C-alpha cells in the first residue's frame, strides 16, 4: 500500500500541471452543463415563473404529467416521426456528401481553382435560414418560381418542390446539403492534408489509377475522422434544428414538416408551457445518450478508437 501511495505522490508531483490545465475546463462543464441538469426537475414539476426551482410543486401523475401530455398529443407523435425520418435522410444523404466533395476537391490539380471552389462552397453556410427561405420560395414556387418558370417554358408541367410532401422532403434534404456541404468539407480536407504524400507515390508506383488511389489511400487515411464524425452525428438522430423546418415549412406539407423543435416552439414556448418544453427536451437528450453509447460500442467493435 505505501508503495502505491508513493507512486501516486511521484506521479502527481511530476504531472500536477496537467491537472491544473484541466481545472478550468472541468469547472466550466460543472457550472454550465451539470448544474443546469439539476434544473431539469422542472420537467416533473409545475413551472411557476415566480417560484424557485426547488419549491415548485410536483406535477400530477407522480410528476409524469407533462410526459403523458406530450405522448398523448397526436401532434407530438407526428413530430417525433417526422424528426426521425428527416434526420435519417439527412444522415444517409448528407453525411457522405462532404466526404465526396472533399475527395473530389483533393484530386484537383489546379490549386487556385481548388482554393476558389472551397471558398465559394462554404458561402451558403453563412446565410441564415430566414434568408434562404426567401430565396427558396423565389426559386421553387410552383407558379411564380424561377425554376418552374424555366421548366414550363420547356414545355413540362410545374414540379411541386415545396407543396407536395414527398417533393418537399427531397427539397428539404437537398437544401440542407447545399447549405452545409461546403462547410463540412473543411474538416475532411484538413484530415486529407495530413496524409503522407509518400503513400500516394507508393500506390502510383504500384499502378493504381486515380479512383483506386482514392479508395485505398485517401479514404483509409481519413477513416478515423469519418468514424468520429459519424458517431457524433448518429447521436443527433433525435435532435432537431429549428430554423430549417420552420422557415421551409408551409401548411400544405404540415404532415411532414412538423418536427419536435417546431412542436416545442408552438406548444411550449409560445404557449408558455415550460414544463412541457423541458420534458420533451429531456426525452430527446436521453435518446441521444442511448444512441451515443450504441454507436460508440459499434465503432469499438470495428476496431476504431471510440470517443468514450
Please state the φ and ψ torsions of residue 58, each to the nearest 5 degrees: -70, 150
Instruction: Give whichever of 173 and 276 is closer to another protein, judged by the CB atom.
Output: 276
Considering the complex, what minimum distance in angstroms separates the CB of residue 86 from another protein?
Answer: 18
Distance CA 307, CA 295 (A): 10
Distance CA 16, CA 27 (A): 17
* CB 181 within 8 Å of CB 121: yes
Considering the complex, what minimum distance in angstroms separates the CB of residue 85 from another protein?
Answer: 19
Q: Contact between 166 and another protein (CB under 8 A)?
A: no
Q: Contact between 155 and another protein (CB under 8 A)?
A: no
Considering the complex, what minimum distance in angstroms separates the CB of residue 57 from another protein?
Answer: 11
Considering the complex, what minimum distance in angstroms separates the CB of residue 100 from another protein?
Answer: 10
* 25, three cell numbers: 475546463
Q: Contact between 11 and another protein (CB under 8 A)?
A: yes
Could you say which residues in the range 80-109 bind another protein, by CB under 8 A?
101, 104-105, 107-109
Distance CA 227, CA 305 (A): 9
Binding segment for another protein (CB under 8 A), chosen from 46-54, 58-66, 84-92, is 46-54
Could you say which residues in the range 179-208 bind another protein, by CB under 8 A?
182, 186-187, 189-190, 193-198, 204, 207
Q: Contact between 175 and another protein (CB under 8 A)?
A: no
Considering the complex, what minimum distance in angstroms separates the CB of residue 122 from another protein?
Answer: 7
User: CB under 8 Å to 177, separation ≥6 — which residues?
Assistant: 93, 94, 97
Q: Contact between 6 and another protein (CB under 8 A)?
A: no
Of 238, 175, 200, 184, which is closest to residue 107 (Cα–Cα)? 200
* CB 232 within 8 Å of CB 251: no
Contact characters 218-237, another protein, x per CB under 8 A: ------xx--x---x--x--
Q: Contact between 77 and another protein (CB under 8 A)?
A: no
Instruction: Give the CA distances from residue 36 to residues 59, 118, 274, in Å, rounded to whole numbers and listed in that order.
Output: 20, 39, 15
Amino acid at each position: 500500500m505505501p508503495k502505491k501511495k508513493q507512486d501516486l505522490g511521484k506521479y502527481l508531483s511530476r504531472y500536477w500541471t496537467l491537472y491544473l490545465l484541466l481545472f478550468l475546463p472541468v469547472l466550466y462543464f460543472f457550472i454550465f452543463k451539470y448544474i443546469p441538469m439539476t434544473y431539469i426537475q422542472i420537467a416533473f414539476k409545475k413551472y411557476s415563473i415566480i417560484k424557485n426551482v426547488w419549491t415548485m410543486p410536483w406535477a400530477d401523475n407522480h410528476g409524469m404529467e407533462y410526459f403523458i401530455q406530450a405522448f398523448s398529443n397526436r401532434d407530438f407523435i407526428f413530430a417525433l416521426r417526422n424528426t426521425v425520418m428527416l434526420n435519417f435522410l439527412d444522415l444517409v444523404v448528407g453525411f457522405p456528401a462532404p466526404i465526396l466533395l472533399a475527395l473530389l476537391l483533393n484530386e484537383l490539380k489546379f490549386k487556385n481553382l481548388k482554393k476558389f471552389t472551397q471558398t465559394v462552397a462554404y458561402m451558403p453556410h453563412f446565410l441564415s435560414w430566414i434568408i434562404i427561405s426567401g430565396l427558396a420560395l423565389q426559386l421553387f414556387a410552383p407558379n411564380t418560381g424561377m425554376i418552374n418558370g424555366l421548366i414550363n417554358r420547356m414545355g413540362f408541367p410545374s414540379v411541386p418542390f415545396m407543396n407536395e410532401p414527398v417533393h418537399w422532403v427531397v427539397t428539404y434534404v437537398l437544401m440542407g446539403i447545399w447549405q452545409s456541404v461546403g462547410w463540412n468539407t473543411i474538416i475532411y480536407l484538413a484530415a486529407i492534408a495530413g496524409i503522407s504524400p509518400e503513400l500516394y507515390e507508393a500506390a502510383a508506383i504500384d499502378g493504381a489509377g486515380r479512383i483506386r488511389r482514392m479508395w485505398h489511400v485517401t479514404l483509409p487515411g481519413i477513416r478515423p475522422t469519418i468514424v468520429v464524425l459519424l458517431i457524433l452525428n448518429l447521436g443527433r438522430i433525435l435532435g432537431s434544428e429549428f430554423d430549417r423546418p420552420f422557415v421551409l415549412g408551409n401548411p400544405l406539407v404540415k404532415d411532414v414538416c412538423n418536427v419536435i423543435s417546431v412542436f416545442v416552439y408552438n406548444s411550449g414556448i409560445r404557449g408558455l408551457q415550460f414544463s412541457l418544453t423541458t420534458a420533451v427536451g429531456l426525452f430527446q437528450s436521453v435518446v441521444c445518450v442511448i444512441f451515443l453509447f450504441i454507436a460508440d460500442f459499434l465503432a469499438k467493435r470495428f476496431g476504431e478508437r471510440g470517443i468514450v
